[in-house]
Amino acid sequence: MANILVVDDEPIIKSGIARIVKRVMPEAAVYTCESAEEAYQLLQERSCEIVFCDIALPGTNGVKLAAQILDIAPGTNIIFTTAYPEYTQDAMEMHASGYILKPVTEEKVRTELQDLRYPLYANKSGKDPAGEKTAGASERMEGIPEPDSAGSETRPKFKRIYLRTFGNFEVFCDGKPLQFKYAKTKEMLAYLTDRCGAMVDSHEVQAVLWENSTGHDSYYKQLRKDLFDTLSQVKCRDIIVSKRGAFGVLPDEVSCDYYEYLRGEHSNISPFNGEYMRQYSWAESTLASLLQRTKPADE
C-alpha cells in the first residue's frame, strides 16, 4: 500500500486533492499538511512514495520543500500542483515526477500516477527487482483502477445547503432562502463559512461578531442555538460539526461559490465579481486575498 502526502495551505484545495487521490488509488494511505514545516516533520517520521506539493506555500515555496524532501528520501515522487504555469521550469530542474496546473482533476491525477518517475512496483519492494524485466505502466502501478468506459468521475453528492459568498452572503436550502431568528446568526454562519472548515471557539466568534467587545456570552448562546435549531428544522444540522466547545462548517456537506472558486471550479451561476460578503467588514481580508488571486502573475 502506497503512502501519499498532499501539501497545500488552502484547506479546501488540500482536502479536494486528497479526495481525488483517494478515488484514483483507493488502497493508498493519504496524509495532508498545510505547511512546509509540517510536511517535512511528517516525512521524517513516515515515508511517503508520492507527494503532491503546492508551490506557493507560506514561509517557503514548494520547490524548496521538494529539495528538502529529496535530500532525506531521494526516491520520492514529487508532483507539483500550482495555479501559476511559470513554475514549470523550476519543476523540470527539480526533476519532479509531475506537474499539475490547477484546477486539479481526477484525470490529471490519474495521468501523473500512471507515469511516475519512481514507479510503484507490484511486488511492493519499491525497487525494480535486479535482473527482472521492468513492467509496463499498466502492470506495475498497483491500486490505480482504470476509469470506467465513459471516463467519468464519481457523481457528486447532491447538497441541499448552498452558501453564496460573492456579493452579499446568503444561505439557501433546496433553492429557497433560509431564514434565521436573528441577523447575527446568519453572520455567525458566514464567519464559519469564511473559515473553510476550520474549528472556531466562542471567544473567536464573539471577537468577530462584536469587534472585540465583551459581555455577549448569553446572546452568543442564543445565536448558536438558533443556528442549530434552524438547520435541524430543515434536517441539515449535519453541515456543522461540534467538538470540545468549538464548531465549524463541513465543506463537503455544502455547496459554496467560494469553495468552488478555491478548487478552481469557477461557477457560471455565481462567478467572483470582485465582491465577497460585502455586508461584513471582517470579510475584507478574504476579499483582498481573492482579488490578489485574480491579478496576472507578473504584476
Q: What domains are defined for the chain?
A: 3-140 (3.40.50.2300), 161-294 (1.10.10.10)
Residue tagged 511516475 (cell numbers)? 116
With b for 16 or more beta-carbon neighbours within 10 A and e for fewer, the 248-283 pattern comes to bbebebbbbbbbbbbbeeeeeebebeeebbeebeeb
H or E element that contains 294:
helix 284-294
Residue 55: pLDDT over 60? yes
Cα three-residue angle 30-36-41, rounded to 5 degrees = 70
* Distance between CA atoms of residues 36 and 216, nearest Å: 38
Single-letter amino acid, residue 105: T
* Distance between CA atoms of residues 191 and 193, nearest Å: 5
pLDDT grade, residue 295 (50/70/90)?
A: low
Return the minimum-mean-pLDDT range out of 161-175, 211-225, 257-271. Answer: 257-271
Residue 291: pLDDT over 80? yes
Average of per-residue pLDDT values in the chain: 82
Residue 146: pLDDT over 70? no
Residue 108: pLDDT over 70? yes
Quick: pLDDT tens for 150-159: 444 444 456 8
Whether the upstream peptide bond of residue 103 has omega within 30° of 0, thus cis, is yes
Most distant CA pair in the chain, distance: 75
Query: At residue 5, what are phi and psi to the nearest 5 degrees?
Result: -115, 135
- Please count the residues of the chain: 299
Q: Which whole-number Å values give the CA distances from 273 to 168, 195, 268, in the listed order?
A: 11, 20, 11
* Distance between CA atoms of residues 237 and 274, nearest Å: 31
DSSP 159: -
- The pTM (predicted TM-score) of the whole model is 0.51
For residue 80, the cross-strand partners are 53, 99
pLDDT recorded at residue 263: 82
* Distance between CA atoms of residues 213 and 231, nearest Å: 28
- What does the pLDDT average to over 141-157? 49
C-alpha cell at 11: 484547506
- Which of 108, 121, 117 shows the shortest CA–CA distance to 70? 117
- What does the pLDDT average to over 17-34? 93
What 3-state DSSP class applies to 77?
Answer: strand
